[in-house]
Structure 1
Amino acid sequence: MRVTSITEYTPRAGALIEFTAVVTGDPRPSPIPPSFNQLFHLGDLDEAERVWIAGSFDVQGSIDIEALGWAFERLIDRHDTLRSAFVRRTSGVERTLYEQGAVEMRQSTRSAVASASTLRDQLRSALQLHCDARQFPSYTCFGIDRPDTSTVLCAFDHANVDALSIAVVVHEIHTLYDAYRRCPSNPDVDLPPVGGFVEYCRIEATEPRVDPADERMVRWANFLTECGGTTPRFPFDLGLAEGDAAPQATALTPVLDARHTLEFEQLCAGSGAGMFAGVVAAIAQAGAAIGGPSRMPFLFPLHTRHQQKWSRALGWFTTNAPMTVEVGTHLSDTITAAHSAFRAALPLSTVPIPQVLANLGDAFTLSRRDVFMVSYIDYTRIDGHELFEDSNAHHISNATVSDDAQFWVSRTASGLALRARFPDTPTARSVMAAFTAELVALMRACTTKPDIAALTP
């Protein structure tokens, strides 16, 4: 799965097929509120910050229109988050739910597109229109038709999905599509039953209160206080005045190939650490090497799919935890410190974020749109990951506006890659170029030297 942004996505030219959702029936009111992530997202929607996520993959030959429409309809019926709609009331945002079978996907347009850049621009405009949680449905589907190899693209407002959901979407749509093509009259599909994100939201809404004196709550408060009563920031000037934002820039950097990724993992294991600790240690070490501080605080997302029924469900199953990496003299020292910090941070992820913010009250201010964060996902641990490589699968995010740096590190069968999101200013581009060059050099060097302790910042 290649992690990218729409501005960097370059699908081969072909005929663009767009599907339109036809909705029948009326939704029923649901007593289950939106999740915290959904509420935060719904309260901050505007044209400049439309946040959607898409998954794309290739299929052999021309697009089978009926197969793709059927596959997407089955996806909607399997996952209740895709049948949720949100209504604003004076009392807040309420959820409504459509029944299974309420959404039918029909081909609406087909247009020949001569260039990859024009195709990307048309896709982006259409996704901006359709992937909007203020309407139902807030997702859509496309085919890019070619005689040899075609591309399927499914996109969703972020309220419906998280990163792992996109991997599920690619696997399920591909599986359903192939089954229909084999036997349209009786598609034989073996997909496991899944739990519903709506049920997860019900449980989240009834989580018990955490005592403000609880050690986890105290540590959250101390972390945010040390960050100045706000969220952590990338520790470099990015060329913006306080309160300003700029259009988002995206940098895609291959960090390590498959062999060197395995070697880096073995080096981390030698320090008793996993890949995430190694990655964030290298990020902190690279930052210090180009003039940054010796302490790097950030947030990192974690999935909350702790029950088996949600392991393959679509939804926004994520929370965050705070972490600070102390940079040592050698990378091995930093990896060890990062591993300890990671283990200590995990219990903090069990405290609901709304309770953390409520506990801080006026002592906390959200001073930026973005939060400095580092995300890590290992696609090689996801069932069916071989399909991602074989089908040229992509995870595609929208490009919006930015006022801080954010990093997504992904591991695939091809190795380790970095997607960086940051403000598109000359200062930020210069800083990010220096940072990514140092990060790549550091991580590549430690997979070619026999003694990791010999590496210095």
Structure 2
Amino acid sequence: MEFTQFLDAKVRPGGLAEWIPAVPGGLGSWHRDPRGTSHNHEQHLRAAHDYRLRTQREGGREAWLGLAVEFDEQISLAAIRTAILGWINRHEVLRTHVTLVGEDTARYTTDPGTVHLRMTRIGWYQRAELLMEQIGGSFDRATTPLHWPAYRFATVARAHSFTLLFAADHSLVDGYSLINAQYELRELYAAAVARRAPHLPPTGSYIDFSGAERTEADAADDRHTAVAAWQEFLGGRPELPPFAVVPAADGLPSDPHDPSTPAQRSRTQRLLDDDAAEALARRCTDLGGSLVGGILAAAAQVYRAHSGVDRFATLMPRHTRNHARFHGALGWFVALAPVTIDVSDDPDFPTALERIMVSLDHAKEGAALPLLRLAEILGFTPEPKFVVSFMDTRAVPGAAAADEGAAQALRSHAYADDEFYLWVNRTPGGLRMHARFPAPAAYPGLDAILQGFVDDFADLLASIARDG
């Protein structure tokens, strides 16, 4: 399944309608929920609040994830309504809201069956670019974490097909949420059309997870094993390692919440087909490593070649769905693992892979606490600058159809002139890559530098898969 910046996504024109959740009586009818707020959510919420205070703009800067699911049949409005409401009732994270109360947070939750849907017909679009601008603007405005609902649905209907779109603030969903959601929404719709119960397993609540994670993390101190891993990774520095291929800011805006910071560029491509991806995995296994280790080792080699630095240091997201009941839950189940190796001797691929595998084992300890809690303990700024992510989606129901175009994972714009994010996904069709990086306006010539880095990374993986 492709993971695409929204305006780069492909949705065919048609009749646009928005589906907006609401609860009669508003938040005043909800009950106060004592379960704690995750550090991820709180950090994200405070950033949106600070942005509003600083810019006098309502809401937060766009930071949403979403989904577009294609249906090759005429739309049933009644079935869409039933499917969306069934999904909201299934996932408690869509029926809860967190507010800031001074230095604390307060959570409010409403019960299953209390949320209603209001459909608004926007109009018929014949040009895809105008359609996407309309939907994107609506999603940008609707997904701030400062209000509920911080998510929205839309449908684009045609004579014999339709597209169901969904966007939610990052505090409510992560990448794995989207991978699972495309199958759930399709099954809920099919069940509504057939007037049967959906065939979906029960799922846990991210709110339960958040409360337990918060209690455990707040009890941790500098004796926790994760702290030692991060102390070594940081080496006394007050900030997380940058992407060294990006030159120093030189007086240009580096605040991602500054309205003058241009939106980042993005790039999406398939790196390897399924056979080549299998060949790459075998090469890595034969050398005592893994596919994810091989991807990081290749990135480290290219990083050294382009930057000349002696140390490859990045953050790798790790999911925290460690209990079966959370495997299908919507939520932000993500911790960050600190990965670093020495590249001063220009290591070849087997050497880089060996070092990465050692670092990955050590990095697991670092992912045992949320980033914000680690920053509180160690006193560093918790703003990632260089992130490499890996997901394997092949085991998810419907993954093959999604990979062939039946669904797309979406993300909003990002605004930063000093961040580089690289996502690599193993799908039924092979190995896909999505990257976001500073816009050319931030630095003259930067686009060519970063495109060259990505080109060399793709070429090296293809070479290893082909030639060893």
Structure-1 separation of matches of 2:249 and 2:159:
47
Q: CA deviation at 1:64?
A: 1.6
Q: 1:173-227, CA deviations, whole angstroms, 9 ceiling, x for partnerless residues?
A: 11000111123xxx2212111111111111112106344244542231121135x
Structure-2 separation of matches of 1:356 and 1:153:
36
Partner of 2:262: 246
Alignment of 1:166-177 (within 5 A): 166-177=178-189
Partner of 1:203: 212
3-state SS in 2 of match to 1:171: helix
Q: Judging changes above 3 Å, is the alpha-carbon distance between structure 1 residues 428 and 392 closer, same or farther for their aligned structure 2 residues?
A: farther
Candidates 409, 413, 420, aligned match of 1:405: 420
Alignment of 1:403-442 (within 5 A): 403=417, 404-425=419-440, 426-442=444-460
Q: CA deviation at 1:370?
A: 4.5
Partner of 1:279: 295
Structure-2 separation of matches of 1:54 and 1:396:
5
Alignment RMSD (CA, Å): 1.9
3-state SS in 1 of match to 2:264: strand
Q: Which amino acid aligns with 2:459?
A: A
Candidates 142, 152, 159, aligned match of 1:130: 142
Structure-2 separation of matches of 1:130 and 1:354:
26
Q: CA deviation at 1:336?
A: 1.7
Q: CA deviation at 1:101?
A: 1.1
Bigger mean CA deviation after superposition, 205-214 or 20-29? 205-214
Alignment of 1:305-454 (within 5 A): 305-327=321-343, 328-361=346-379, 364-366=380-382, 370-389=384-403, 392-403=406-417, 404-425=419-440, 426-449=444-467, 452=468
Q: 1:77-97, CA deviations, whole angstroms, 9 ceiling, x for partnerless residues?
A: 111111011223234321100
3-state SS in 2 of match to 1:49: coil
Partner of 2:198: 189
3-state SS in 2 of match to 1:76: helix
Structure-2 separation of matches of 1:201 and 1:339:
30
Q: CA deviation at 1:117?
A: 0.8
Candidates 78, 99, 121, aligned match of 2:133: 121
Q: 1:237-273, CA deviations, whole angstroms, 9 ceiling, x for partnerless residues?
A: 3573355243211111321111111110111111121
The 8 Å contact of residues 53 and 155 in structure 1, kept in 2 or not, is answered as yes
Q: Judging changes above 3 Å, is the alpha-carbon distance between structure 1 residues 424 and 354 closer, same or farther for their aligned structure 2 residues?
A: closer
Structure-1 separation of matches of 2:319 and 2:167:
20
3-state SS in 2 of match to 1:252: strand
Partner of 2:68: 56
What count of residue pairs does the alignment treat as equivalent?
442
Q: Judging changes above 3 Å, is the alpha-carbon distance between structure 1 residues 330 and 129 closer, same or farther for their aligned structure 2 residues?
A: same
- Deviating above 6 A after TM superposition, structure 1's stretches of 4 or more consecutive aligned residues are none
Structure 2: segments with no counterpart, 5+ residues: 52-58, 255-260
Partner of 1:70: 82
Q: CA deviation at 1:131?
A: 1.2
Structure-1 separation of matches of 2:293 and 2:20:
44
Structure-2 separation of matches of 1:430 and 1:365:
29
The 8 Å contact of residues 6 and 124 in structure 1, kept in 2 or not, is answered as yes
Structure-2 separation of matches of 1:238 and 1:129:
33
Partner of 2:222: 212
Structure 1: segments with no counterpart, 5+ residues: 453-457
Partner of 1:139: 151
Q: Judging changes above 3 Å, is the alpha-carbon distance between structure 1 residues 213 and 99 closer, same or farther for their aligned structure 2 residues?
A: closer
The 8 Å contact of residues 86 and 93 in structure 1, kept in 2 or not, is answered as yes
TM-score under structure 1 normalisation? 0.92
Structure-2 separation of matches of 1:356 and 1:239:
26
Percentage of pairs with the same residue: 25
Structure-1 separation of matches of 2:201 and 2:226:
36
Bigger mean CA deviation after superposition, 299-308 or 197-206? 197-206
Q: Judging changes above 3 Å, is the alpha-carbon distance between structure 1 residues 214 and 82 closer, same or farther for their aligned structure 2 residues?
A: closer
Q: Which amino acid aligns with 1:374?
A: V
Structure-2 separation of matches of 1:386 and 1:102:
35
Partner of 1:15: 15
The 8 Å contact of residues 60 and 145 in structure 2, kept in 1 or not, is answered as no
Candidates 220, 227, 231, aligned match of 2:240: 231
Q: Which amino acid aligns with 1:411?
A: R
Bigger mean CA deviation after superposition, 39-48 or 249-258? 39-48
Bigger mean CA deviation after superposition, 320-329 or 193-202? 320-329
